[in-house]
Amino acid sequence: MFAPMEDYSAQLRKYMPALATPIISRWINDSGCQFRISRSRTSKLGDYRPPYGGKGHRISVNHNLNPYAFLITSVHEFAHLKTWNTYKNKVKPHGPEWKSDFRELMRPFIRLGLFPADIQQAIVRYLDNPAASSCTDLQLYRVLKRYDAPENPVHTVEQLPENTVFSLKNGRVFQKKEKIRKRYRCIEVATRRIYLFSPVAEVIPVKHEKADGD
List phi, psi (to 5°) of 7: -90, 115
Predicted TM-score (pTM) above 0.85: no
Q: Measured between alpha carbons, how far is 7 from 25 in angstroms, rounded to an integer?
A: 6
Print pLDDT tens along the chain (214 aa).
665 557 889 999 999 999 999 999 999 999 999 999 998 877 788 999 999 988 999 999 999 999 999 999 999 999 999 999 999 999 998 999 999 999 999 999 999 999 999 999 999 998 888 876 655 678 888 899 889 876 556 788 988 999 999 998 888 999 999 999 888 999 999 999 999 998 888 888 887 555 565 5
What pLDDT shows up at residue 149?
77
Helix (H, G, I), strand (E, B) or coil at 21: helix
What radius of gyration, in Å, describes the C-alpha atoms of the chain? 19
Res 152: pLDDT: 58
Q: Which residues does 59 contact at the CB level (< 8 Å), separation at least 6?
A: 33, 34, 35, 36, 46, 47, 48, 49, 74, 77, 78, 81
Q: How far apart are CA 44 and CA 69, in angstroms?
A: 12
